[in-house]
Amino acid sequence: MTAVGIDAVEIWTGNLKLDLPGTFAPQKGEDPEKYTKGLGLNASSFPDSYEDIVTMAANAAYRLMDRKGLEPDDIGRIDVATESAFDNSKPVSTYVAGCLEGVFDGDFHHANKGERKFACIAGTQSLDDAYNWIRAGRNRGRAALVIATDTALYARDDAGEATQGAGAVAMLISEDPSLVELSTHQGYGSADETDFLKPNQQFPSVDGKRSVQVYLARMREALMDYESVAGDIHPDDVRFVPFHTPFPGMVRKAGLLGYRYLTRDTAIEEELAEEIGRQPRLEAFDTEDAYHDAVREYTDALKGTDRYREWYAETIDPTLTISREVGNWYTGSVHVARASALKHALETGEDATGETLMVGSYGSGAQAEVHTETVQAGWTEEIGALNVDEQLDSRYDLSWAEYEEVHDVHNHEMDVEVEEFTAPESEFVFDGWGRMGERKYRFVE
């Protein structure tokens, strides 16, 4: 069977940044380490006044198509995943196609376009759609453009405000991919939950503490489901585990859950038993509460073992480097985590070809999905082409007063105008409103 997967990736960050320990913490009267150590975040990316989900998506896609020498005819499908859409009918992908048609020869008139919604997991679901379309033989030799784009803003003073972010990830899905092959097997953990939702409102209603528990519960189910179809995964067989990263502190918890799960009934569990005992088994307890208390105790002890710390440092920590500087990009977050891990491998001179990634996606509402990916021979060229470090370095560092203005500019209920903080260059920008309330865009040379 021909390999299908991600051929290329590009990342586009919002052009502004908010320094969490330096600017946010003093205003909130909090210890800066709550953000840097607790949540694991140094900064959030924000969109400048001329940026939105369309400009960021189009800019990521433009970089990708330009670099790969693609023309619109090469693309048979454009799927945009977002939970920040501003229109209940017209999909963001049509705007993105319109932008790209302004700079490339040809058009996307014969490409299927759509928009995927299921909180943050929609980015991964769009990969599935592209994968299935290619596998079904409906692609006529063409590739799919999948773009995850979000302005992850929370209401001012919401606990989630510290985890905001804005950016887009564009991915090209094709046969014989250069970056990673996607596994056919997938595992799901899905339930009707109300942890985070936006009932026809821009900013989310969030039960933050509960959302953390729901993430872990669904992820555990997805792992179980994955192993039930693909067979047991041994921790030594997995090079990196990119998880959905609303903030790195969440992934610290997911990493522990994953390791506990993967080492159960393995020689590693037995070796660790000398130090911290064996993992609790439900059948050994009279009540579920007692079992959960024992699991918590075991997990706390596991966190302190050298064996776990080494695994975390090698397998999980490299996935978090970019996230620490940008915050939550919702649909794009897990795809940023994959890129971050492979960037680490490139920078440390590792030969990752043939290695396995176990990818854990999550969307509130709620659903987790686990699949594996095999790193392909072209990964060094693809990851080496990312300019994410330069993008992050050139963001404009907002003062507190400027942050408040920027938040208002992007608040759909407010009508505020602010001078742009950065000068756009070789990128798409928002250019005002059309007669039917549509958004207009232009490319700035």
Binding site for ligand HMG (CB under 6 A): 31, 33-34, 37-39, 83, 119-120, 159-160, 162-163, 196, 206, 208-209, 211-212, 215, 244, 246-247, 249-250, 328, 330, 362-364
- Looking at the Cβ atoms of 209 and 412, the one nearer to ligand HMG is 209
Q: Within 10 Å of residue 192's Cβ, how many Cβ atoms?
A: 6
310 a catalytic residue: no
Smallest gap from Cβ 118 to ligand HMG, in A, equals: 8
Smallest gap from Cβ 100 to ligand HMG, in A, equals: 26
- Looking at the Cβ atoms of 39 and 56, the one nearer to ligand HMG is 39
Smallest gap from Cβ 215 to ligand HMG, in A, equals: 4
Tokens of 341: 């891990």
Smallest gap from Cβ 107 to ligand HMG, in A, equals: 32
* Given the residues 10, 51, 83, 373, the one annotated as active site: 83
Dihedral sign for Cα atoms in the order 317, 372, 7, 102:
negative
Smallest gap from Cβ 116 to ligand HMG, in A, equals: 12
* Given the residues 120, 181, 193, 382, the one annotated as active site: 120
Cβ atoms of residues 95 and 441 within 8 Å: yes
Tokens of 289: 């509460």
The closest of 21, 26, 57 to 39, measured between CA atoms, is 21
Report how far apart, in Å, the C-alpha atoms of 107 and of each of 1, 7, 352, 429 are.
31, 21, 37, 20
Cβ atoms of residues 83 and 331 within 8 Å: yes
99 a catalytic residue: no
Q: Are strands 396-397 and 16-19 parallel, antiparallel or unpaired?
A: parallel
Phi, psi of 300 (to 5 degrees): -60, -40
Cis peptide before 401 (omega within 30 of 0): no
Smallest gap from Cβ 81 to ligand HMG, in A, equals: 11
Q: What b/e readout covers 238-263, taking b as 16+ CB neighbours within 10 angstroms?
A: bbbbbbbbbbbbbbbbbbbbbbbbbb
Distance separating the N- and C-terminal Cα atoms of the chain: 43
417 a catalytic residue: no
Q: Hey, which residues are catalytic here?
A: 83, 120, 244
